[in-house]
Structure formats: C-alpha cells, structure tokens
Amino acid sequence: MVGIAAGRLRRLDWITVIAGVLALVAVVLALPVGESEPPTHAGAGTGLSVAWVDRASRIEVVAIGFRSRSAVEVRVGDQVLTGIRADEVGVISLQVPLDAAGTDKSGASVLVTGRAPSGAARALAGAVPPRPAGHGPVDVTPWSLLAVAIAVGVGWYRRRSRREAGENDHNNPELTDTTDK
C-alpha cells in the first residue's frame, strides 16, 4: 500500500514539475524581446517608414536612398517641411509634431521627394498609420501566465507540506491509536 501511494506521489511531483516548466517557458516566450522596428506604411522595400512616437504625440518619418547631404522636401498631410537635408549616407529621419494641418489624422499622406544617389528624382509615398490602440489581451497575457505559475507553485507547496505533515503524524506515537480492540 505504501509503495502504491509513493508511486502516485512521484507521478504528481512529475506533473507539477512539468506544469511549472511549461509555465516558465510560456512566461519567457511572452516577454518582449526589445524595441521593434516601426511599421512601414509605404509598401515593402520602398525605403519609407512612418510611425507614432512618444505615446502618439509625434510622427516619426524615416526615409532612405537619397543623395548624401542633398535637400529633401517632406510633406505630411497639408504641412510642407522644407530645408531638410539628408545625412552623409542619404537617410532622412525627423519627427513631425501634431498640429491642425491634418498630420494627426490616420491615413494622411506622407510624401518625401529629393534626389537619389544617381541624380535621378526620388519620391517616396506613404501614409500616417492608425493611432496605437489602448490596452488589449496581449498586455494581460504575461500577468495571467504569472498568476497560473504562482497557483501551481502554491498548490505544489501545500501538497508537499500536507504530505510531510501526514508522514509526521504516522511517526508520532502520541497521535497514533494504541487502544486494544
């Protein structure tokens, strides 16, 4: 009888260990890796990236493929930004604050025009992405997995402490029944 109970407890221990490992793996996989690239809205491979930054208070425009230190015109909605120059490798990176000119509207056009390294005209077109949504289920997932892991740990601890208390009760002569029947 003792061998059967010990075998059952060993199986429960293995199940607890496996559940704990799975919970740990789920939590690790749910953790963010780092800052991701801003979403592109001009199409794949066009060299234009438009994204919200600073909690959707500004729009970041990044464009590549222009002549080094050449003048570039950026148009966001109805707002025209002139006097912008590409850096030494031909990249434009600027942040446009929100205003009444239509830059705060999702879908507003973004147009970057200038000269390519070959001297030909280069024009990149895109759109302002939708504002980031509020909180969703993805924000709650790591916390719910942590709650499951804590519940598994508490259950394991309670089962272990009950088992140890049960073993101690059988070994304690004061708690065992010694009356003659």
Q: Read off the pLDDT of residues 73-88 as tens digits, 9 standing for 90 and up.
A: 999 888 888 789 999 9
CA dist., res. 27 & res. 149, Å (int): 9
CA dist., res. 149 & res. 23, Å (int): 6
Q: Which residues contact 105 (CB under 8 A, 6 or more apart)?
A: 77, 128
Q: Is the pLDDT of residue 12 over 90?
A: no
Q: Is the pLDDT of residue 176 over 60?
A: no
Other C-beta atoms within 10 Å of 47: how many?
19
Q: What's the chain's average pLDDT? A: 76
Torsion of CA 158, 160, 166, 172, to 10 degrees: -110
Q: Is the pLDDT of residue 67 over 90?
A: yes
**Ranges of each domain in the chain:** 48-127
Q: Read off the pLDDT of residues 28-62 as tens digits, 9 standing for 90 and up.
A: 777 665 444 444 444 446 789 888 887 777 888 99
Angle at alpha carbon of residue 117, lines to 113 and 123, rounded to 5° = 20
Q: What is the pLDDT of residue 179?
A: 60
What is the CATH code for 48-127?
2.60.40
CA dist., res. 92 & res. 63, Å (int): 5
Q: Is the pLDDT of residue 90 over 50?
A: yes
Of 110, 30, 26, 104, whose CA–CA distance to 76 is shortest? Answer: 110
H or E element, residue 76 = strand 71-76
Confidence of residue 102 (pLDDT cuts 50, 70, 90): low
Answering whether pTM is above 0.85, one says no
